[in-house]
Chains A and B, each alone.
Chain A
Amino acid sequence: MNSQKDNPKLHGLIAAARHFLHEPMPKGVSWPHTFGSVLLALIVVQVVTGLLLSFYYSPNSDAAYESVQYIEQEVAFGSLIRGVHHFAASAMVVMLFFHIARTFFYGAYKQPRQWTWIYGVTLLIVVLGFAFTGYLLPWDMKAYFATKVGINIGGLIPVVGAYLVKVLQGGREMGTTTLSRFYSLHVILLPLVLVFCVGLHLYYIRLHGETPPGLRNDDKIGFAGTFYPAQLFRDSLVVFLVIAVVFGLAAAFGAPLEAKADPNDTTYLPRPDWYFYGLFQLLKLLLGNLEVVGAIILPGVLVAILILLPFLDKNPERRLSKRPGVLAGGSAAILVIVLLTALGGYEGRVAANAAATPDLVTVEGEIEDTFVVDPRMGRRLYVELKCGECHGHGSAGKNIPPGLEFAGNKYKYSWLGEYLMEPHRVRWQTRGLRPVARMPDFKLSEEEALNLTSYLMALRVDTKLPELGFDWAAADSDMVESGAELAFEYGCLGCHRVGEQGQDIGPGLSNVGSKLQDSYLFHIVQAPDKLIPGTGMKNFQLDLDEIEELVAYLRTLR
């Protein structure tokens, strides 16, 4: 048998396999070194299940959802295969986390292994790219709206953001062109990049060897056996367990599939997949102008640090006890990521529960018309009356019925209820802007109007319209007066009507104080174009004090 080793005819695959299997293992290489192999195995699982899914899937907005439904319901093992693809994706993110953490704490990123590390970080980005592009493909509500949020985050990037959004969408709006783009990225481009990076990652691993724990980089390495069989056995066992869990989850729960995407439904509250909860939570904490910090800058800095790590930390010491700074920094980063993710998950659950069990309000009246206000009934009405057909296009532009995605941040409960009951009477009192499309009077009963109101008031975008600390109710008359002067100085009446004065170009303001919330007034004056893209309202670049005074005045108009 020994002669086989020197057999010149032994070449090609067998020689390559032997080369890998006979890799000498440094002492101390053990279970934590199996994560990489698990990732490799999961890639194989994704390639196989992804290839299978593509046999039935259709990347077209008219058919994508139906084809996924067909896979789930009609194709033999369809729901299992799709479930495995779904959960293996999650498993990859988890394993990547462990793999990177292990590499980090073992100091395995240090020179000469910097290229192994850099291709590894690239692979992290590629895998997240897979997750993002794959999420859209089922074309259900969740897919559509979560991707929309993701694309809009890209839009926050200064200067290039707007172009990036168009490129990602494949047009001005999300639709079938977005889907075919994401499909191509997901099944052609990203896999090519993945194979390239995995190849180089493996090449460099083999070149420099595994990193034994607890040594300095310049210490002499002692070897104990080869990759085959002991380490390959450990790899196989962990791979087996992970894949068993993936199959178990897939069989027990399957991949979720919600209703088909309806772009007109502005009322859907999108949530990303769990591995983006952390980022989601970060965005919630950093509001307004800080949003770009949370969405772009912080993740960008994190990636940059990761990539540059081998060059920033040139200390050959790999023993953790001698690297207290790295230990503390790494642990803190991990803690923050885990906490943010958990917090995002927890708040998401709370929000979901709140949506499922809405706060019911009992309205007292004559005995026979006492009723309970139920936002769920309101949502039904929203769908039945097709409110989304006119109001569903987001808050965009002049003469377009207002979008309702942040109705809860914008209107006052009482005004909205009254308006929905008798839109024409209320509108007439308001005077002012007449939209091209008039709101029909649906002749809603008080109960229906309040149900709908309670539902609409639950639609909030607190990231765009955070509550403000200022209490205008406590504003003194001086402030109101200077606000009124400002309104005159800046020529608000040139477009808006207040009582008998002013023009009917923009919405009338005669009773704006009873209609709109104070904080909304603040935000719309501060950055009108950000709330209502394409609005005719100018940004007067007021400073914060001025806006506060203006709002103090406006809210008195009732």
Chain B
Amino acid sequence: MPWIGTKTDTMVNQDLPRRNFFKHAIVVLNSLIALALAVPGLGFLLSPIFKNEEEIWIELGPQSRFRSEAPQKATFKYESTAGYTRKVRNSFVWILPDSSEALVALSAVCSHTGCNVAWNEGEQLFVCPCHDGRYATNGEVVSGPPPRPLQELQVKLENGTVFVKLLV
């Protein structure tokens, strides 16, 4: 700590080794205290980072419901946890026309800043209401600000019932 000055060094400089020990011990002790507070403190603050997302499979209904020509909105409820509270939320995904046997589910969340995209019958595109981002039926970006295609979600079929995988 050079900025502390030397006024007293001249006063008691006959005891230099002792004073030097004090100076170092002060730095070490106080650094340890600061560290003991800072490390857990930061961990505590940044705790949400260490929380792993949970995978859940959401039931969307019987496969027979998803047999249309246009992308179809599949709504569902799920329990979302925020800290120590739990709330049931409504949400939806887009199920693409069933060309083959396998169903494809697209997240409705725009890759730009996360508004929900809607299917526009006239344009045959997914249109985002927020900044006019547009996506093709397969989720690829057609125009506008979105940086990535709509996210494809994992789908599974069990006994004729469709499930989609979410990360919460």
Contacts and interface: CB of A to CB of B under 8 A. Distances in A.
A56 B45 CA distance: 9
Contact of A18 (B5, B23, B43, B50): B5
A76 B30 contact: no
Given A77-B40, A240-B33, A52 B4 contact: no
Interface stretch (B7-15, B59-67, B111-119): B7-15
Interface in A279-329: none
A5 B11 CA distance: 14
Contact of B33 (A5, A52, A243): A243
B33 A41 contact: yes
A76 B84 contact: no
Contact of B22 (A18, A66, A77, A232): A232
B8 A14 contact: no
A63 B4 contact: no
A18 B51 CA distance: 45
B99 interface: no
Nearest to A65: B84
**Per DSSP, are chain A's interface residues mostly helix, strand or loop, or mixed?**
helix
Chain A interface residue bracket vs B: 35 or more
Contacts of B12: 225
Contacts of A77: 40-41, 43-44, 47
Contact of A78 (B10, B25, B44): B44
Given A76-B50, A233-B25, A22 B44 contact: no
A87 B31 CA distance: 21
Nearest to B4: A21
Interface in A30-61: 41, 45, 48-49, 52, 55-56, 58
B50 to A, nearest CB: 5
A86 to B, nearest CB: 14
A456 to B, nearest CB: 35
Interface in B1-50: 2-8, 10-12, 18-19, 22-23, 25-26, 29-30, 32-33, 36-37, 40-41, 43-47, 50
Given A66-B84, A67-B84, A239-B33, A22 B41 contact: no
Residue in B18, B23, B25, B40 with the greatest tally of chain A CB atoms within 10 Å = B40
Interface of B: 2-8, 10-12, 18-19, 22-23, 25-26, 29-30, 32-33, 36-37, 40-41, 43-47, 50-51, 83-85
A225 B11 contact: yes
Q: State the main secondary structure of chain B at its contact with A.
A: helix
Given A239-B33, A240-B29, A247-B36, A1 B6 contact: yes
Nearest to A75: B47
Given A76-B50, A78-B47, A63 B41 contact: no
Contacts of B47: 74-78
A67 B120 CA distance: 43
B40 A80 contact: yes
A81 B85 contact: no
Point out which of B19, B22, B44, B45 has the most chain A C-beta atoms below 10 A from its C-beta.
Answer: B44
Given A56-B83, A76-B50, A22 B22 contact: no
17 contacts: A1-B2, A2-B7, A5-B7, A48-B41, A49-B41, A66-B84, A74-B51, A75-B44, A77-B44, A225-B11, A229-B19, A230-B19, A232-B22, A236-B26, A236-B30, A243-B33, A247-B36
A78 B2 CA distance: 38
Given A1-B6, A229-B19, A63 B26 contact: no
Interface in A236-294: 236-237, 239-240, 243, 247
A226 interface: yes
Contacts of A239: 29, 33
Given A67-B84, A76-B44, A17 B4 contact: yes
A228 interface: yes
Given A77-B43, A247-B36, 15 more contacts: A2-B7, A2-B10, A14-B3, A49-B41, A66-B84, A69-B84, A76-B44, A76-B46, A77-B41, A81-B40, A81-B41, A225-B12, A230-B19, A233-B25, A243-B36
Contacts of A243: 33, 36
A233 B22 contact: yes
Contacts of B43: 76-77
A29 to B, nearest CB: 14
Contact of B84 (A70, A233, A236): A70
Across the A-B interface, the 3 shortest Cβ-Cβ residue pairs: A229-B22, A77-B40, A70-B84
A22 B12 CA distance: 13
A21 B22 CA distance: 13
Contacts of A80: 40
Contacts of A225: 8, 11-12
A66 B3 CA distance: 49
Contacts of A240: 29-30, 32-33
B16 to A, nearest CB: 11
